[in-house]
Structure 1
Amino acid sequence: MAKNGTPKGAAAPAAMNGNNKRKRDEKPVQKTNKKEKIVEEEEMDDEEEESEEESDNDNDDEDDEEEEEGANGTEAKSDAAKEDIEIDFSANDAVAIAAGGKQINYDFSSLDLSEPTKKGIADIGFTKMTEVQARTIPPSLAGRDVLGAAKTGSGKTIAFLIPAIELLYKLKFKPRNGTGVIIISPTRELALQIFGVAKDVLKYHNQTFGIVIGGANRKAEADKLAKGVNLLVATPGRLLDHLQIFKGFVYKNLKALVIDEADRILECGFEDEMKQIIKLLPKESRQSMLFSATQTTKVTDLARISLKAGPLYINVDEKKETATADGLEQGYVVCESDKRFLLLFTFLKRNLKKKVIVFFSSCNSVKYHAELLNYIDIPVLDLHGRQKQQKRTTTFFEFINAPTGILLCTDVAARGLDIPAVDWIIQFDPPDDPRDYIHRVGRTARAGTKGKSLLFLLPSELGFLRYLKHAKVPLNEYQFPTAKISN
């Protein structure tokens, strides 16, 4: 765990063979970036973002019909109220508000926190806040609704956990009071990561905490909820199940709702579930926080129905010239399809002492390449959406705790997860969208550290570089001499 308040996390895998489909503009792009040779021991040891186009859909039941905006059956806001909560993602005035017009203090010791929270933070080793934490925590402690935009790896998990935990502490929540805070996450792995960080921060508190996710035992979750879970981490589908079906779930005293990775939640197809969840949850006297790495119309709509009018908008990356982390060294290599696997094999063989994540476009591809690489004595772990939850969880934490290793995965691991000390991110299959590229490479160079990434491209896929350039993603072309590629 980094000392700047960014918690540990994990990634998920998926892969396919060198002939899998690509949806790229085939028109080549003029190469303007300098070429760099990568041949000896310092070749490309970068880790790759966990990327997976499958939605981590954890709802075991059929979706109910989409419901109206609002909460607890109340009518949707008036047109005037809607106007008040319109979100302008390009505005930066809220950042000044977040700073209060004063110089920001980045020391955790400057926050007015309870002793149990201070002790938990001290045990984790946090001393300095990241920018998103320094700008989010003080107004959140004061009760403001927050709409946050920040690059992956910015430390926003702590940014919303500390205010939520402090709220429970000040209200003296006990198990009999039921659930006071709900944190919604797009994937099971990210939910597990948030749950782990919450457990650390709550170490000296008396408040209870729990998690409900798809793939887990529903009855065991219901039994835990019946005993009273003050802080609940959940994925959308399973949360809606419990809200609709389990009468022993006490949430009438809900005081805070956190929606993390809102854009990813919507990309996974949970728009209807989120509308139903927000309608079911109490709205009066509820503080809400919504975080999203990217701007979409659907995210704006979700913010409108979940946040109070006039939320505080915080964007710490607005003035950045690039969409990726400053410490990230990014490159691409052009390779014919019949050489792609040999290039991957050569790279991994030379980086066995590094921590590497390799992204593939499908679960079948992850499985295929994992079996092949393990067979030829390149030990790898694999993570994808078709695995049973226990297998995914075991693999997830095994890779997190390993000092070195190779993880093959789909995009299930590309969002939000914080895997310590990843050296290289390899994208064997390019994603369908530059935003997915950004989320993949966000698994490395987190919270001020350094990392490397490498994108594999077919000659016909060079057109994708234009989209990356438009998205403010700088890449250099790497050359891997044919003589250095293993046969």
Structure 2
Amino acid sequence: MDATQLSTKKRKRKHDSSKGAATDGIKDKKIRKEEKLERKKKRKEKKVQDEDEEEVEGAQKADEKGGGEEEVKALPNGKNTTSDKDDSDRDEKSDGEAEEEREEENNEADEDDTPKHPDADINTESNDIPLNSSLSLPMTGGNPVKFTDLNLSDATQKAVAAMGFEKMTDVQSRTIPPLMAGRDVLGAAKTGSGKTLAFLIPAIEMLTSLKFKPRNGTGCLVITPTRELALQIYGVAHELLEHHSQTLGIVIGGANRRNEADKLSRGVNLLIATPGRLLDHLQNTPGFVFKNLKALVLDEADRILEMGFEDEMRQIIKIIPSQDRQTMLFSATQTTKVEDLARISLRPGPLYINVDYHKEASTVEGLEQGYVICEADKRFLLLFSFLKRFSKKKIIVFFSSCASVKYYAELLNYIDLPVLDLHGKQKQQKRTNTFFEFKNADKGTLICTDVAARGLDIPAVDWIVQFDPPDDPRDYIHRVGRTARGSNGKGRSLMFLQPNEVGFLKYLKEARVPVVEFEFPAKKLVNVQSQLEKLIGKNYYLNGSAKDGYKYAPKFPEPFEKRKKKGGNE
């Protein structure tokens, strides 16, 4: 045999040996697989056998008790367990297979590690959020009565509990679930109905769900008509955000604009604002990020428009983003202007909620309301006697103009009947300090214009006194709404009417406001008229205030329905 043949033979043997090894490997795999299947088959058979034995034993026991036919029925039922058996087969896998499946699941989890919510990737390095994103928080089933019935985050539940709230009011139970489901809402409710929580809770839950951070800018915007109402909402929101990481801010007229701009530049997730100052920041604060706005709240919308902010609101609506924005509009009255504002701000098909349409009275149930007919020269004596008698109560007295408030505040304080005063011509710091001082007081008197009549939540007010009647029944309703607040609130209201003002009662009746006449206590009045005349005649400052107060006071006997609001009313 030559060298070539020998080499060829060696290569052939080598090839055959490698081929044999490969074949052996394949055989080994097949054997292992067959053995594994055999083991699996035996486990199945053993499990079925065990189950059959158990069923037979059960049938025998039943037969011993006197049911021979039951054995025939029990055996087929014992074997008719295909789905259960298949489930157990799927669970009984080899360690290697289980390990492989766990690895595959881990790999899939690593590949799909995105949050469940479509907007939850808001916290990228950029302050942008994805386009075409929408919020769809779960709505609770049934009719929720308690806050614990709602699907709220733990942080919000903890805050609500700390605030002492357990049961929801009508407006809250009917408004919060659809808002959390992403619906636009047009709400009408009496003052003191609890609508502040009704819109703040869904707004905060939205910010939490989307994991808003300061760099993402403003996600929810709340617009209110007055500075005091904005401060009040800010206080409630601050308590609700106690256990959340989202940021809170407020921009109102009269405050330091530069400080506001700095805070906006650092990022404010929930912003409370009055219309004028908000429009200023939208147009002139470069660092104000509002392109991620997801919720807009218009509180006391009718009042916003009544105060002349219609143009500002139209500009604001044009500037802020509208795509995927949820809007909540609350208004005590539905006027043509409110409907126009709703049309340009809400998405088509909003949910309209009116919790008071079926109630006979336009004011709350715990409110006792009355009026007294009093001549003009006796009105101050009646007020002085009333405040003296109820000096240990918490009282709010409404006047028709800033000048009247200024004069009567100076006069009452001068004659040692201490009062606080609040009106629209005061500086913002003065207004803020006065509001919180009276809010935190257990007793005392606040005299004010209608600047304090809308939305302000001042606890435990015993009496509302209307020295000057309002120009409209709606204003009356909002004035008396400062007392008897909450679901079980109690309070009383007294309105002074001159003989030529009794026509107002007809309009109150048409507005479903129940009032009764109180007897004029002429004999119980403290007669200080002569002393007051001497005092005002000698005191230069009081004399000037008295002239201004008279200048802006309503002049009669013109028909009540033709009365016009005088300058400086707010």
Q: Where does residue 152 of structure 2 map in the other structure?
A: 113
Question: When you count helix as a share of all residues, which structure comes out higher?
Answer: 2
Q: Where does residue 155 of structure 1 map in the other structure?
A: 194
Matches within 5 A, 1:78-117: 104-117=143-156
Deviations 1:210-252 (A, max 9, x none): 0000000000000000000000000000000000111110000
Q: Is the 8 A contact 2:374 2:520 kept in 1?
A: no
Q: Which of the residues 489, 496, 503 maps onto 1:456?
A: 496
Aligned AA for 1:313? Y
Shift of 1:105: 2.1
Matches within 5 A, 1:184-223: 184-223=223-262
Q: Which of the residues 432, 439, 442 maps onto 2:471?
A: 432
Q: Where does residue 91 of structure 1 map in the other structure?
A: none
Shift of 1:480: 2.8
In 1, Cα distance between equivalents of 2:164 and 2:477: 28
Whether 1:240 and 2:299 are equivalent positions in the alignment is no
Q: Where does residue 178 of structure 1 map in the other structure?
A: 217
Whether 1:273 and 2:307 are equivalent positions in the alignment is no
Q: Where does residue 404 of structure 2 map in the other structure?
A: 365
Q: Which of the residues 464, 471, 480 maps onto 1:441?
A: 480
Structure 1 residues without counterparts, runs of 5 or longer: 1-98
Aligned to 1:349, what secondary structure does the other structure show?
helix
Deviations 1:122-149 (A, max 9, x none): 1111101100000000110110100000
Structure 2 residues without counterparts, runs of 5 or longer: 1-138, 528-570
Deviations 1:288-307 (A, max 9, x none): 10000001000000001100
Aligned AA for 1:467? Y
How many residue pairs end up in the alignment? 388
Q: Is the 8 A contact 2:249 2:271 kept in 1?
A: yes
Whether 1:353 and 2:392 are equivalent positions in the alignment is yes
TM-score of the aligned structures, taking structure 1 as reference length: 0.79
In 2, Cα distance between equivalents of 1:159 and 1:304: 22
Aligned AA for 2:481? G
In 2, Cα distance between equivalents of 1:472 and 1:103: 32
In 2, Cα distance between equivalents of 1:415 and 1:185: 10
Shift of 1:374: 0.9
Q: Where does residue 422 of structure 1 map in the other structure?
A: 461
In 2, Cα distance between equivalents of 1:200 and 1:453: 31
Aligned AA for 1:109? T
Post-superposition, which runs of at least 4 consecutive aligned residues in structure 1 deviate over 6 A? none
Aligned to 1:483, what secondary structure does the other structure show?
helix
Aligned AA for 1:474? P
Aligned AA for 2:323? E
Aligned AA for 1:449? G
Aligned AA for 2:500? S
Give the RMSD, CA atoms, in angstroms: 1.0
In 2, Cα distance between equivalents of 1:137 and 1:269: 30
Aligned to 1:479, what secondary structure does the other structure show?
coil
Aligned to 1:219, what secondary structure does the other structure show?
helix
Whether 1:231 and 2:270 are equivalent positions in the alignment is yes
Deviations 1:138-175 (A, max 9, x none): 11011010000000000000000000000000000000
Matches within 5 A, 1:476-487: 476-487=516-527
Q: Where does residue 378 of structure 1 map in the other structure?
A: 417
In 1, Cα distance between equivalents of 2:504 and 2:325: 44
**Greater C-alpha radius of gyration:** 2
Shift of 1:483: 1.1
Q: Where does residue 372 of structure 2 map in the other structure?
A: 333
Whether 1:391 and 2:430 are equivalent positions in the alignment is yes
Aligned AA for 2:449? T
Aligned to 1:211, what secondary structure does the other structure show?
strand
Q: Which has the higher relative contact order, 1 or 2, with Cα contacts under 8 A spaced 6 or more apart?
A: 1
Aligned to 2:385, what secondary structure does the other structure show?
helix
Aligned to 1:183, what secondary structure does the other structure show?
strand
In 2, Cα distance between equivalents of 1:163 and 1:481: 50
In 2, Cα distance between equivalents of 1:105 and 1:230: 28
Aligned to 1:239, what secondary structure does the other structure show?
helix
Whether 1:316 and 2:373 are equivalent positions in the alignment is no
In 2, Cα distance between equivalents of 1:445 and 1:397: 19
Q: Is the 8 A contact 2:294 2:325 kept in 1?
A: yes
TM-score of the aligned structures, taking structure 2 as reference length: 0.67
In 2, Cα distance between equivalents of 1:288 and 1:141: 12
In 1, Cα distance between equivalents of 2:508 and 2:485: 20
In 1, Cα distance between equivalents of 2:492 and 2:161: 31
Q: Where does residue 475 of structure 1 map in the other structure?
A: 515
Q: Where does residue 134 of structure 1 map in the other structure?
A: 173
In 2, Cα distance between equivalents of 1:227 and 1:129: 35
In 2, Cα distance between equivalents of 1:417 and 1:304: 27
Q: Where does residue 466 of structure 1 map in the other structure?
A: 506
In 2, Cα distance between equivalents of 1:119 and 1:373: 45
Task: Determine what percentage of the aligned residue pairs are the same residue.
Answer: 74
Whether 1:261 and 2:300 are equivalent positions in the alignment is yes
Shift of 1:103: 5.5
Whether 1:307 and 2:346 are equivalent positions in the alignment is yes
Bigger Cα displacement from structure 2, 299-308 vs 476-485: 476-485
Shift of 1:258: 0.3
Matches within 5 A, 1:5-24: none
Shift of 1:104: 2.2
